[in-house]
Structure 1
């Protein structure tokens, strides 16, 4: 099985997110929230996981919650600890929204394995455990879309991208960077056999990376050891 894109549901999810966000108090990065909402709808995601970071607002969660209704799916927010959970609930209240989705509290290695069959995972890379969240995510039978907000922070300031920190065995078939908000990296993790942008496949691969802080372009040749 493969993820199949549906433009109609993508449009509906996007418009619902725009409407939902217009009805709450001002939220930062609403453009990113509208983008990921359209993705969730377009891929008809059944299980959407949001790895939330403190001080990041709840625009993304509001947008995703509006989107999953089109696929009759669910949105789960994972936070690393109880203070984060309390701050998230407070941010939801301040935005004038309601907490309807499930919230899981715990380290990435504890929460992510509970969520089998993830279709879309949105990771705020301001989380110190962003890399561990990515490695612990368990794709569904159709594959998984990974969205990294503030993607330059995955792993380190000089990171070569989210594909480099994914767990061995995950096959990245597409990767792109979008200059939206604080930066958004999107990966498509496939389920079939074949080479991966993350370094698998046995042959040397060229990887182009733009440092989102200095705007310098770097080209790496990656070999399988």
Structure 2
């Protein structure tokens, strides 16, 4: 099996996220990421979050997990972050699954990740991507705030091409503060750029700038 795109599920998650994130900063990022997670029918959605982070993306991921009957897990570094995250998500009517600890250590107990979002401003984001246990169907990995990351030399192949998994394609989108997205195949499944009828197009309009982005997946 491999990740299969569902435009109908993506559209539903996108619309629901628009409704939920109208008053949040970076709502355009949340809408796009939510549609992607739902469209790929992700069953295990993982994100990292720390104190002071923007929550629109988290809301979008939670909404996507509802549409896929999946599991949305957030890793936070400490109790203060957990408390802030839980309280803010509760105000949005969402009861998140939260794990406290260093992301690289927590990852040991989370296998089968289909969709993952990390914050490029966190110093260990590349290490988290390296140790992530991806689904046998492959996975979509997203680095948000990519324009602000300190590791200017970051390359997807350096964190995903290790023999057991392979970079299929990647794209950088100038949405929000930059989204760096990769589709990764694993040895437990297969993926190909040449398969007939497999490509899908996502159209996203940034509501603040009015710019339109078309992404081929």
TM-score range, shorter chain: 0.7 to 0.9
Helix, strand or coil: the match of 2:21? helix
Q: Could you tell me which residue of structure 1 aligns to residue 141 of structure 2? A: 146
**Alignment RMSD (CA, Å):** 2.2
Alpha-carbon deviations, 1:51-83, whole Å to 9, x = none? 113322211111111111121101101112222
Question: Could you tell which deviates more after superposition, 145-154 or 119-128?
Answer: 145-154
Task: Work out whether residues 18 and 34 of structure 1, in 8 Å CA contact, stay in contact via their aligned partners in 2.
Answer: yes
Q: Could you tell me which residue of structure 2 aligns to residue 84 of structure 1? A: 81
Q: Could you tell me which residue of structure 2 aligns to residue 198 of structure 1? A: none
In structure 2, C-alpha distance between the alignment counterparts of 1:152 and 1:57, rounded to whole Å? 16
CA 1:155–1:148 in structure 2 vs 1: closer, same or farther (change >3 Å)?
same
In the TM superposition, residue 104 of structure 1 has moved relative to its aligned partner by: 0.6
Helix, strand or coil: the match of 1:56? coil
In the TM superposition, residue 112 of structure 1 has moved relative to its aligned partner by: 1.2
Query: Normalised by the size of structure 2, how large is the TM-score?
Result: 0.79
Q: Could you tell me which residue of structure 1 aligns to residue 16 of structure 2? A: 16
Instruction: Give 1:75's match in structure 2, choosing from 72, 75, 78.
Output: 72
Query: Normalised by the size of structure 1, how large is the TM-score?
Result: 0.77
CA 1:9–1:113 in structure 2 vs 1: closer, same or farther (change >3 Å)?
same
Alpha-carbon deviations, 1:86-144, whole Å to 9, x = none? 23234335xx3134121011012221121110000011112221112111211111101
CA 1:142–1:103 in structure 2 vs 1: closer, same or farther (change >3 Å)?
same
Instruction: Give 2:179's match in structure 1, choosing from 176, 184, 196.
Output: 184
Task: Work out whether residues 136 and 167 of structure 1, in 8 Å CA contact, stay in contact via their aligned partners in 2.
Answer: no
Task: Work out whether residues 131 and 155 of structure 1, in 8 Å CA contact, stay in contact via their aligned partners in 2.
Answer: no
**Where do 5+ consecutive residues of structure 2 fail to align?**
191-217
Number of residue pairs matched? 189
CA 1:5–1:182 in structure 2 vs 1: closer, same or farther (change >3 Å)?
same
For the pair shown, the structure with the greater C-alpha radius of gyration is 1
Task: Work out whether residues 147 and 187 of structure 1, in 8 Å CA contact, stay in contact via their aligned partners in 2.
Answer: yes
**Where do 5+ consecutive residues of structure 1 fail to align?**
195-225
In the TM superposition, residue 155 of structure 1 has moved relative to its aligned partner by: 6.1
Task: Work out whether residues 145 and 189 of structure 1, in 8 Å CA contact, stay in contact via their aligned partners in 2.
Answer: yes
